[in-house]
């Protein structure tokens, strides 16, 4: 009975994904063309399972899968060979997993939007990157320093939604701005960047595309103040104190931004003075400072996925295999968020992950009992 209930958790996570939608994505990429063993849907299920079990390598993953007859039934695969799984990670296009992630992200946004119709600043995005260091001998295509390889994940995260809207991967040595142009920026949206993204050509393009930005300004950049804007009567707030609000021209003779911009300077409670550059003149100085401070949300997201999902060690060494694992880790993250939202689970996302992990282990070690029982029944009802 315990094994039946615990594999039911895995089955309900599968139920959060519309098989018809997944099938359409797989057919679009022709991911099952001439495939006889380990179809794309099965591949996806095993990769999600890897995120939840305690296996730390490809060999461990295969061993764990072989030991559970219930998982064989759920995935629909009786035998999983190490070479077959390795070949799938190498040759099945990672783009199919990227599109599945995009589909599930859209599903999550639809659910959360219905629950938060009046949410303020729904058109604000946070953009940043995180570095993952690897072993150069294994990941030679991503050489970073003499003895180290590294990949850089570039994320666009919608403010207050905790799930990335866009993801790109580059080798670690590539500068952030070079990858920024490959992300999609939409008219009327506002994007928040750290100072590593302050590039005049890039910001000028955002202005031409009628997008907005808030970016931390670097000391040493050429700037000319054309007008001092009036500060509000109250300049001290809970997390910062406003110091100045100015209209400026940025750049020198060779590189510059022709359009006048706005420079808001504030001091944090820790005594750090920050200046942020923006092309939004419609917002108050307080709101601009507050929005920039929200950028720490993406730092918390980076910390969470690095600590709790498997994105620091990889089952394959080629770029495609690395991307497959990253996308399936993010798919797992979205599924957890969907489960939390639909079930009304009151604990933290980490507590939910721990509960689901315990249920996955129960398929192997026959652990009995879970506080997720009522939550999972609610998911069944919501998924219909």
Q: Over the stretch 284-295, which tens digit does the pLDDT of each residue have?
A: 999 999 999 988
pLDDT in tens, 98-149: 999 989 988 888 777 655 544 567 789 999 888 887 765 566 666 656 667 7
User: 276 forms bridges with which residues in the sheet?
Assistant: 216, 264
The per-residue pLDDT for range 305-321, each reduced to its tens digit, is 889 998 888 888 788 98
Note the pLDDT of residue 317. 79
226 Ramachandran zone, left/alpha/beta (phi>0; psi -120 to 50): alpha
Give helix 2-15 / helix 319-343 axis angle, nearest 10°: 100
SS3 for 217? coil
Give the highest mean pLDDT range of 18-22, 73-77, 246-250, 369-373: 246-250
Rounded to a whole number, what is the distance in angstroms from the first to the last CA of the chain?
24
For the purposes of burial, counting CB atoms within 10 Å of the CB of 219, is it exposed (0-12), middle (13-18) or buried (19 or more)?
exposed
Secondary structure of residue 263 in the 3-state scheme: strand
* Pick from 319, 318, 313: nearest CA to 50: 313
Helix (H/G/I), strand (E/B), else coil: 34? coil
pLDDT at 114: 58
Neighbours of 290 (CB within 10 A): 17
State the Cα–Cα distance between residues 263 and 163, nearest whole angstrom.
29
Which of 107, 98, 109 is CA-nearest to residue 28? 98
For residue 339, the model assigns a pLDDT of: 83
Spans of all domains in the chain? 2-97+320-383
Rounded (5°) CA angle 272-273-275: 135
C-alpha pair distances (Å), 59 with each of 23, 85, 251:
28, 10, 55
3-state secondary structure 125-173: EEEEEEEEEEECCCCHHHEEECCEEEEEEEEEEECCCCCEEEEEEEECC
3-state DSSP assignment of residue 239: coil
Distance, CA of 26 to CA of 163 (rounded, Å): 23
Report the alpha-carbon angle 211-215-219, nearest 5. Answer: 145
Residue 72 DSSP symbol:
H
Please say if the pLDDT value at position 5 is more than 80. Answer: no
Are 310 and 304 spatial neighbours (Cβ–Cβ below 8 Å)? no
Q: What does the alpha-carbon distance between residue 196 and residue 211 come to, in Å, rounded to a whole number?
A: 19
- Contact between residue 195 and residue 218 where contact means Cβ atoms under 8 Å apart: yes
Beta bridge partners of 251: 256
Q: How far is CA 200 from the centre of its chain?
A: 26
pLDDT digits (tens, 9 = 90+) for 229-285: 999 999 999 889 999 999 999 987 667 888 999 999 999 999 999 999 999 999 999
Taking a C-beta distance cutoff of 8 angstroms, is the pair 57, 315 a contact?
yes
* CA dist., res. 219 & res. 201, Å (int): 18
> Is 27's pLDDT higher than 80?
yes
pLDDT of 215 > 50? The answer is: yes
pTM for the complete prediction?
Answer: 0.81
- Mean pLDDT of the chain, nearest integer: 81
Residue 330's pLDDT is 92
**What is the chain's alpha carbon radius of gyration, rounded to the nearest angstrom?**
23
In the predicted structure, residue 217 carries a pLDDT above the cut 90: yes
């Amino acid at each position: 009975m315990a094994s039946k209930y615990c594999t039911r958790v895995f089955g309900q996570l599968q139920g959060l994904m519309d098989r018809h939608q997944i099938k359409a994505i797989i057919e679009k990429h022709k991911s099952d063309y001439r495939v006889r063993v380990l179809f794309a849907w099965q591949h996806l299920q095993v990769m999600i399972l890897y995120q939840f079990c305690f296996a730390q390598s490809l060999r461990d993953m295969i061993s764990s899968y072989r030991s559970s007859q219930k998982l064989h039934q759920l995935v629909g695969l009786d035998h999983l060979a190490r070479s077959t799984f390795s070949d799938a990670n190498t040759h099945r296009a990672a783009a199919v997993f990227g599109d599945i992630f995009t589909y599930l992200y859209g599903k999550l946004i639809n659910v959360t939007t219905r629950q938060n119709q009046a949410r303020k600043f729904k058109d604000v995005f946070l953009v940043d990157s995180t570095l993952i260091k690897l072993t150069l001998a294994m990941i030679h295509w991503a050489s970073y320093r003499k003895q180290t390889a590294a990949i850089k994940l570039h994320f666009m995260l919608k403010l207050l939604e905790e799930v990335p809207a866009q993801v790109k991967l580059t080798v670690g040595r590539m500068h952030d701005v070079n990858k920024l142009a490959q992300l999609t920026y939409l008219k009327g949206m506002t994007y928040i960047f750290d100072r590593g993204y302050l590039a005049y050509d890039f910001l000028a393009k955002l202005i031409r595309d009628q997008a907005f930005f808030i970016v931390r300004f670097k000391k040493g950049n050429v700037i000319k103040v054309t007008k001092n804007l009036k500060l509000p009567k109250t300049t001290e707030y809970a997390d910062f104190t406003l110091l100045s609000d100015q209209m400026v021209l940025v750049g020198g003779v060779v590189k510059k931004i022709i359009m006048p911009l706005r420079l808001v300077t504030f001091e944090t409670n820790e005594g750090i003075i920050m200046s942020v550059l923006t092309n939004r003149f419609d917002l108050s100085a307080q709101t601009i400072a507050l929005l920039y401070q929200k950028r720490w949300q993406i730092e918390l997201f980076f910390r969470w996925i690095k600590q709790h999902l498997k994105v620091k060690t990889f089952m394959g060494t080629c770029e495609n295999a690395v991307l497959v694992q990253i996308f399936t880790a993010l798919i797992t993250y979205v599924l957890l968020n969907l489960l939390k939202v639909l079930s009304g689970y009151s604990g933290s996302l980490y507590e939910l992950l721990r509960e689901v992990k315990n249920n996955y282990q129960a398929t192997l070690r026959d652990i009995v009992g879970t506080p997720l029982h009522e939550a999972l029944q609610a998911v069944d009802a919501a998924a219909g």
